[in-house]
Every structure is written in C-alpha cells, then in structure tokens.
Amino acid sequence: MKRSPYWLGLLAALSLPSAEAINQEIRALFQPDPSKPNKNVFVNKTPNSGYCALWPDQCADNQMFSIELPVRFSSSRFMSAGFPLSLKVPANWRQLTVTNPDTQETETVEVRITGIGSNFELSDTAANLVGVSDILEGHQKLWTSSSWVYAPSPCQYSGVGSYTPSTYRFFWKTPVEAACTKVVAYIIPGMAFRTMDFAYELRTPNPLGMSTGLYTGSLTYTLGPGGDFDLGTQMYPDDNNLTLDFVLDVQHTLKVDLPPHGDKVSLEPEGGWQRWIEGGHRPTRIYRDQPFFLSASSRFKVMMQCGESYVPSLCNLRSPTTGQRTDTSVQLSLPPGIAGPGGGGTVSFLPLQHGEWAGPFQPGHYVDRKAGSLRFEMPASSIYLLLKPGLNDTFIGYITVIWDSEA
C-alpha cells in the first residue's frame, strides 16, 4: 500500500501533454505571364484543405485560402447552461520578414486570419442532451442562438453547416479580431473540436523589385486559452503552437533575342556607301542601329566589353591587313516601360562604357519581347581619318554586351 502513491504519481506525470508545435508551409509563386504583363502579383500555391477545398467558390470571390490542421481541442470539464464558449483568432494583419539567403535581401509579408471553423463532436447526441428526437432540433436548441451555422457577431455567416447526431461542421468569417460567443443552453458533459480549419489572406511585396530565388520566413501563433487561436476557456489543444513557414518563390525572366544574323553589325553612312561614292560628299555619320527583343520582369544591368579599347567610351575596330584602327561608340535604347537608374524615364541612346555596368534598369511591368536597339556609331574624328583618299580597307572588332538580372 505504501508504494501506491508513488506509482499513481508516476502515471499522472506521464499523462500530461507535452508542449508540442505544428508547422504549416505557405507557398506563393511569381512567374511573369505574357498574357497579363501588368499582373505583378504572387499566386498562392498552398493546396487548399478544409473550407476552401469543400466550397471553393466561397473563397475564390474573396481571394481567400484555407488550411485544415490536425489539431484537436478538447474540453477540460463539463459546460453548464449559460456557459459562454468564445472563439477568437488573429484577424488583424501581422508582419513577418522573408529573406533570400543567396542575396540577403529582405521583404515584408503580411497575413491575417479571415475565418475559423471545425467539426465539433459532443459526448452524446445533441438530441439526447436537450431531450428531443429530431437531430437538427437538437443542434438548434443546444445553444441559445440556434445552431453553429449562424455565426455570432462580430463573426459572420459563411453559409456552411453540416451535421450528424453528435457532430457539427461549421465555418465563420472573422472580419475583426474579437471574441465570437455561443452560449450553452443545456449541460454538455464533454466536447471537442476535431480539427482547426482557418482561412487566411496575404499581402505580398512587389515581385518586380525582388531578385530571383526563394524568400523564406516564419510566423508563430499560440494555441489554447488566452492564445492567438483561442477556441474557448475550457478547450485545450494537443499542440500549443502553430508556425506558418512562408516560401515566396520568385522566378524572373530576362531574355534578349537578336534577329537572324543580328550578331554581325556593318557600319555605313546614312543612305549607304553607294550614295557617298556617287555623290562624292563626305558622310557626316557612319553608324548602325541593331535591334533586339527584350523580355524582362525584374531589374537588370548591362555591361559592354570591347575586344580592344583605349578609351572606356569607345571600342577599337582594327584592319586585319594594315593594323590601322578606328573607333565606335555603343549606345543603348530600351523598350518603353523600363526606367533608368534612379527611376529615370525611358532609356534612349545611353552611352555604354567598356568594363562598367550601366543600370540598374527597372521594369514597371513585365516587358514581353519588346524592341530595343544598340547604336554603333563612329565619332567624327574617326570618320575624317577613315575616309582619306586611296584608302580601301575593312575594319573589324568584337564587342560583347552582357545582361545581368542580379542587378
């Protein structure tokens, strides 16, 4: 007999619930859409479960998403008539920071809980608890304000309710962060919420200002009486914390296409060489505008690299036979909708420098295969030297233009 208290104490200690936690990933993706170039938003990629999976039309109209978690809330004792069972969730906006581990860039994400629901079960049928035979009547009379499909203020009706003799599935919208209370009309010996079903809304940053990659961050909520998710003062969960792990996946596009044979550029006077030969007038300009087609959804920078250069603003062209050289500058023009450094307007004939980055350039929306150009032009001093009497030669140079989306 003396050993009994020792063993009873040991069993009681083992039966206490441990402080556990549950994690749920929230994933959103940005990919530019050529059919909707002005739609610069993340798309939620977290599979719906619970309310929005069962009634998708209800959520699609409100840009709302839902998750059903295997968290069980159980009553710690009986509930007598007049007992207030109050539900409260974090309906106000909360912020968290997401970080790109490759670039260490950070952005702010906001989330709020816009609805709460579950499938509660009773220790007996609702009809038995209130002393009637009809199932629906039992659920209606068990509470002073009818069944749980009717959300108490400030929660709002969602149109969703289904039941069995001893269970009731419900979902309430939560426009504000305040307690929503149902009052017990008859004694309930025991009750449990089988799961926790919540809906949420996101505010995400502008993806056009973010680098390609994954941005991650977490937000933790407490569960239980007095916690962030409070389903009643006598309702205790089997998990004490909920951590939402956010993953924002940014997949930008940066693509530059040249027309056929666009990698070979021939400089010539306005109107062509024949016009100068026949007319005898020295050309004042020798150049070529080389078009390209740009697709871009994020900021980028551009660098020119000359095969040979003695002045950063000019690339050398050299005669393979005589070794003589001349020069050309390169100027960049971008499609409308792309701002220059410091938020400047349309980029037109921006001089590029050998070995130096130009930019960053920031699209205001997704630019899908829009035309820009590179102007290759000889300075006036080079034209004068080039067109000396008796000179008949070809000058060649190699110029590389690099586009980098990690501006």
**In Å, how far from its chain's centre is CA 316?**
46
- At a CB cut-off of 8 Å and minimum separation 6, what does 383 contact? 282, 283, 284, 285, 286
For position 275, what pLDDT does the model report? 72
Task: Pull the structure tokens for residue 186.
Answer: 């008859």
Residue pLDDT, tens place only, 348-383 = 999 999 999 999 999 988 898 899 999 999 998 888
* Residues with pLDDT less than 50, the chain: 1-19
Burial class (CB in 10 A: 0-12, 13-18, 19+), 296: buried
Residue pLDDT, tens place only, 227-276 = 999 999 999 999 999 999 999 999 888 889 999 888 899 988 877 777 76
Contact 115, 199 (CB under 8 A): yes
Tell me the CATH number of domain 254-404, given options 1.20.58, 2.40.70, 2.60.40, 3.30.450. Answer: 2.60.40
Burial class (CB in 10 A: 0-12, 13-18, 19+), 137: middle
Considering the entire predicted model, what is its pTM? 0.77
- At a CB cut-off of 8 Å and minimum separation 6, what does 398 contact? 306, 307
For position 57, what pLDDT does the model report? 84
For position 216, what pLDDT does the model report? 97
- At a CB cut-off of 8 Å and minimum separation 6, what does 36 contact? none
CA distances for 371 relative to 71, 330, 352, 368, angstroms: 55, 17, 18, 9
Contact 173, 63 (CB under 8 A): no
Contact 173, 87 (CB under 8 A): no
Amino acid symbol at 159? G
- At a CB cut-off of 8 Å and minimum separation 6, what does 281 contact? none
Taking the domains of the chain in order of start, what are their residue ranges? 19-250, 254-404
